[in-house]
Amino acid sequence: MSKKEIAADIAKILEEIYPEVPVPLDHQDPYTLLIAVLLSAQCTDVRVNKTTPALWQLADNPYDMARVPVEEIKAIIRPCGLSPMKSKAISNLSKIILEKHGGKVPSTFEDLEALPGVGHKTASVVMSQAFGHPAFPVDTHIHRLAYRWKLSTGKSVTKTEKDLKRLFPEETWNKLHLQIIFFGREYCPARGHDPHACPICSKYGRATLFK
């Protein structure tokens, strides 16, 4: 089978298991999604979802957040890790959104990636989940599984993203990246994984998984 045929079969399996997929990070609008994704760097979605309600009580829009002292933001988001860096980024990007974008989260990759603390993966999540723009955010689960399933070499997340975009139809990207994330968590974890019991690895997993 060609890689495209394997990718099509994997997409079929994922669609059967996850016909509907929720957005993992709780949010109300593009701004709260942007902040939640920023907080999720080196942190679990569960921890972020436990932390953001207190942050939204303090400020859930760039107008209010820009007026909150960085130390107050840092105190609330400390459980998410990297709080000194993340709190400064939240404060500064809120001010930039006000000054340069009229208080609205920008809806282009270029403008999003110009914001403090916002890299390509974060921008991709916001473009996909907030604005419906075709994007394929590659997190650790997707990067790991693309290698396990021989869809990519695993040399870098940038390479993985390019490989997956070539293999899967653009109209599937926004849903598919979430399906792979959920599959990685529930069926195909990094540790304690039985490839024989995995509905995808049992068919397409690398031979090293079965040693």
Structural domain boundaries of the chain?
3-21+136-210, 30-129
Q: Considering the domain 3-21+136-210 in this protein, what is its CATH number? A: 1.10.1670.10
- The answer to whether 26 is a known catalytic residue is no
Q: What is the pLDDT of residue 10?
A: 98
CA distance 108 to 71: 30
| Percent of the chain whose predicted confidence (pLDDT) is above 70 | 99
Closest listed residue to residue 129, CA positions, set 121, 119, 117, 141: 121
Residues in the chain: 211
Predicted local distance difference test score (pLDDT) of residue 166? 97
- Tokens at residue 159, please? 């390479």
Close Cβ partners of 130 (under 8 Å, ≥ 6 residues apart): 29, 30, 33, 34, 105, 107
Which CATH number among 1.10.340.30, 3.30.590.20, 1.10.8.420, 1.10.3720.10 corresponds to the domain 30-129?
1.10.340.30
Q: Is the pLDDT of residue 156 over 70?
A: yes
User: Which residues, 6 or more positions from 17, have their beta carbon under 8 angstroms from its beta carbon?
Assistant: 179, 183, 187, 199
Tell me phi and psi for residue 166, to 5 degrees: -75, -30
Sign of the alpha-carbon dihedral angle for 155, 159, 163, 168 = positive
Average pLDDT, the chain: 96
Which of 121, 155, 159, 165 does the annotation list as catalytic?
Answer: 121
196 neighbors 202 (Cβ within 8 angstroms): yes
| Cα→Cα distances 174→8, 60, 115, 140, Å | 16, 25, 22, 17
Residue 183, judged by CB atoms within 10 A of its CB (0-12, 13-18, 19+), counts as: buried
| Mean pLDDT computed over 139-151 | 94
pLDDT in tens, 46-92: 999 999 999 999 999 999 999 999 999 999 999 999 999 999 999 99
Please indicate whether residue 163 is annotated as part of the active site: no
Which among 45, 60, 139, 163 is annotated as catalytic?
139
Global pTM value: 0.93
